[in-house]
């Protein structure tokens, strides 16, 4: 089993290690190591198209993560009071949203947005002179629909592990619902909410499939990478991919560490 586990990890991470290795090549070949240099990282960070795509991805991911945390936490708290068959139905809907392939979410979101835009644009244009179209807003909306489910799952798991006696004690001491939520419930949920924010940011920042359908004129970093490799893989692309992987791994490790530190003592 140990040999099998090592083989699986090698299959998963060896290609990533090769990309990271070739990103330090001094030559122009993306598949041959020709000396050692960090020049491709400097070139990537100095590329205005890369910088613009990075800003777009970061803005979309940050906005999506914030909205996902807000709506996901609210939904998790609301679903806590549900019991029986109704709760089972909502649980199934949440997990289905996580399991549905990204291409299905992208196509469905694109069709829904285009249909809505065609229906309301005549009134919007007549009233404001503007037309709704695909772009930053559609990217954020599509990513929130996907990542909000992650936040709901994490926050609900945290709610299930909370000591309800603390909330009851707060009420017995005269605190109202708002004060109890602000002083007791929210601090207990904070680790799960923060972990959900990091995971939402990571999934949104790394997403290509959903963004490809709903981005419109916007170009995120994954879309830029895909467009670039169609003309051939270069060490600059390897450098960009290595930086994205490094940031994603760091955020995932921080999220996991936050969840572990936030677990109540047995």
154 CB neighbour count, 10 Å cutoff: 27
Is position 40 within any domain?
Answer: no
Q: Which domain holds residue 53?
A: 48-262
pTM of this prediction?
0.83
CATH number of the domain residue 197 falls in? 1.10.3720.10
User: Which band of pLDDT confidence, cut at 50, 70 and 90, is reported for residue 162?
Assistant: confident
Is position 30 within any domain?
Answer: no
Reply yes or no on whether the pLDDT at 88 is more than 80.
yes
d(CA 186, CA 107): 36
Reply yes or no on whether the pLDDT at 31 is more than 80.
no
- Lowest-confidence region among 62-66, 88-92, 148-152: 88-92
Is position 127 within any domain?
Answer: yes
Reply yes or no on whether the pLDDT at 170 is more than 80.
no
Percentage of the chain exceeding pLDDT 70: 96
Reply yes or no on whether the pLDDT at 66 is more than 90.
yes
Per-residue pLDDT, averaged over 106-120, amounts to 89
Give how many domains the chain has, as a whole number. Answer: 1
Per-residue pLDDT, averaged over 30-42, amounts to 80
Is position 129 within any domain?
Answer: yes
Average pLDDT over the chain reads 85
User: Which band of pLDDT confidence, cut at 50, 70 and 90, is reported for residue 264?
Assistant: low
What is the per-residue pLDDT across 222-243, written as a single tens digit (0 to 9) for each? 999 888 887 777 888 888 888 8
The alpha carbon torsion through 110, 115, 117, 122 (nearest 10 deg) reads 160
Is position 80 within any domain?
Answer: yes
What pLDDT score does 241 carry?
86
Is position 205 within any domain?
Answer: yes
What pLDDT score does 262 carry?
57
Per-residue pLDDT, averaged over 246-257, amounts to 84
User: Which band of pLDDT confidence, cut at 50, 70 and 90, is reported for residue 56?
Assistant: very high
Instruction: Judge whether 207 and 222 are in contact, CB under 8 Å.
Output: yes
Per-residue pLDDT, averaged over 128-150, amounts to 88
Is position 3 within any domain?
Answer: no
What pLDDT score does 266 carry?
44
User: Which band of pLDDT confidence, cut at 50, 70 and 90, is reported for residue 177?
Assistant: confident
What pLDDT score does 62 carry?
94
Is position 32 within any domain?
Answer: no
Per-residue pLDDT, averaged over 55-65, amounts to 93
Per-residue pLDDT, averaged over 119-137, amounts to 86
What pLDDT score does 265 carry?
47
């Amino acid at each position: 089993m140990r040999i099998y586990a090592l083989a699986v990890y090698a299959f998963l991470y060896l290609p990533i290690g090769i990309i990271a290795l070739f990103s330090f090549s001094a030559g122009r070949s993306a598949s041959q190591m020709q000396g050692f240099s960090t020049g491709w990282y400097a070139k990537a960070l100095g590329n205005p198209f890369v910088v613009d795509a990075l800003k777009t991805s970061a803005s979309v991911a940050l906005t999506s993560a914030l909205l996902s945390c807000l709506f996901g936490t609210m939904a998790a708290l609301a679903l806590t009071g549900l019991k029986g068959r109704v709760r089972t139905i909502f649980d199934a809907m949440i997990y289905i949203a996580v399991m549905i392939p990204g291409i299905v979410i992208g196509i469905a979101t694109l069709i829904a947005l285009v249909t809505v835009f065609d229906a309301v644009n005549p009134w919007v244009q007549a009233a404001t002179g503007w037309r709704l179209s695909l772009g930053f807003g559609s990217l954020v909306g599509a990513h929130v629909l996907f990542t909000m489910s992650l936040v709901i799952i994490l926050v609900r798991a945290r709610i299930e592990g909370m000591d309800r006696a603390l909330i009851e004690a707060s009420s017995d001491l005269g605190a109202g619902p708002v004060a109890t939520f602000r002083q007791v419930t929210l601090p207990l949920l904070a680790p799960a909410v923060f972990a959900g924010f990091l995971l939402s940011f990571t999934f949104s920042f790394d997403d290509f499939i959903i963004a490809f359908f709903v981005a419109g004129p916007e170009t995120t970093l994954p879309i830029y990478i895909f467009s670039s490799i169609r003309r051939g893989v270069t060490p600059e692309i390897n450098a960009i991919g290595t930086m994205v992987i490094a940031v994603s791994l760091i955020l995932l490790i921080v999220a996991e560490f936050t969840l572990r530190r936030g677990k109540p003592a047995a």
